[in-house]
Structure 1
Amino acid sequence: MNNIKQFFSIKDLENLCGIKAHTIRIWEKRYNLLSPNRTETNIRTYSLENLQKLLNVTYLVNSGYKISRISKLNNQEINEYVRNIVSDNSTKNQAINSFKIAMLNYDLHLFSGTYEQLASKRNFRQIFINVLIPLLKEIGLLWQTNTISLSHEHFITNLIKQKLLLNIEKLQYSKPSKKDKAFILFLPENEIHELGLLYIHYEILLHGYKAIYLGSSIPLYSLPNLLSFHDNNIFISYFTIKPEKENISEYLNEFNKVVCTDKMNEFWILGKQILNSPKSNQKNHRYFESINEFICEL
């Protein structure tokens, strides 16, 4: 699972580029766009260079260029056309493609260069919500379909985590300006997916609130120690894989017994595990279906 993936099937290209396999075959036959290798059983296989070219071609097509025109360009000219196209939406699409190429090649410099280019025109919130969240959703699907390996996924998510931590650190130098409530952020036991909760931490600090970030896999019995932190505490968690949907109600009830004995304390929950899952009727529990919905509440 952790081996570097050097060759891709036509289905992999379809998943990575968003272009139907049928269309890719037409582009190969009609325009000689790609030159795949073939196995002994005559199945197409594509190199990283093929994939990178198709990502750039897809970007140009989505930007309004006709495939008949693109097919007449060499690889260097295609790269130059991509670099020269500038608009807000196209920058977003090209950045996502560049991040995917950086992931596939384990290319730190491409990731950093792409990020810095975005940062010269956008603030961190715009980068994270408009570019990195869509990228992470794509990466999740690519991993689920075995298009990328676990090492690819870890490489890119750790680089994104670094950017989150850097931007959080910048905000931590300022004292909180709002003192009516405080936030305590944690993940349930055996939950290790931190990116969503880290970004929530960033937003809380950006809005001027007090916050304590505990991180991943926190047992409930350790949380009551924080109740004296503030008169009005809001606990926040992000359920990505834990607890399982069938155990969420039990977990929430246990949280109230162990932690939220005071009506002033609330529990706010995000994450895909709470979507379409049973929710408790406790008044001190709040559910958010998206980060944007959470931001509007701050």
Structure 2
Amino acid sequence: MVLILLSLVFLLMRVAPGDPVSSALGGRLSAEELAERRAAAGFDAPVWKQYFEYLGQVVQLDFGRTITDNRAVSEIVVDNGGATLTLTLGAVLVALLVGLPLGLWSGRRRDKLDDVGIRVFGIVTFAAPVFFVGLLFQLFFGKNLGWFPTSGQASPRIQASIPEKTHILLIDALLAGDMSAFRDALHHLVLPAVTLGLLVVGVLIRLVRVNIIQTLQSDYVEAARARGISEGRVVRKHAFRNALVPVITVMGLQMASLLGGAVLTEQTFNWPGIGNELVGYLNDRDYTAVQGIITMFALIVVGVSLLIDIINALVDPRIRY
């Protein structure tokens, strides 16, 4: 999967008109000087040669250096990855806190009015564009009500005062013993995390609801009811855990959606993550940066998929590898 994605990005970047040298220096250098810069960067070589040279670098985990500002792609991931990780984990937490109880309640209240309302809510959150939801939240909760900040990872003064040790601002604030900075970072995280988390809430609601309905109709649940166990205990102890197995799998698969949504969310809220950097490099047509960042995203998705397989085996005793 990583190889296919890497190859597609490599080809698409070169099919589109223009190149990073012209984007960065066009209008400031003569045609001869631009040609020299392209040759020095290797862009005058045949595409197949550029492709195999890049594959050779990736195999050695060398994703190259950006053309526009000469930064190593690994440096971008380290410097900005903490912000993206914070946003993604916050979104996962929001999705679980909202999607699991609503899906459970909807499954227990099948075809009742509240079940219909929850299903409509899930459809709306799934269908609404993440950037549009973010703009609405900024307008309503940020500008009109003034409850939450609408941009940035923290207040500029606070962010500048926290020494970067882990590149994760919440952890750095705790390590520095600055609880006011920690609260400020949490305050800035709320709107972006809710915006991105709602992207997968609809999927969770539908999945939990379907599995709860199926599980509540199974023989072992009927047997538990026949033994006089209360309905609440039957749902919590017998039905819910079994219904969680496919939920865990789908949450792993939704990691790709979250990373894709993080790009738009970071742009909307001016969040200093990898996605924000990716958009800037796309505008500059920086081949190396775009290829490297998307390849890193692909590696993260593959790693999460492997982790989900392991967790499934721990949760479900029927699964063995």
Q: TM-score range by the shorter chain?
A: under 0.3
Q: Give the TM-score taking structure 1 as reference length.
A: 0.25
Bigger RCO (CA 8 Å, 6+ sep):
2
Task: Considering fraction of residues, name the structure with more helix.
Answer: 2
Task: Considering fraction of residues, name the structure with more strand.
Answer: 1
Greater CA radius of gyration, 1 or 2?
A: 2
Q: Give the TM-score taking structure 2 as reference length.
A: 0.23
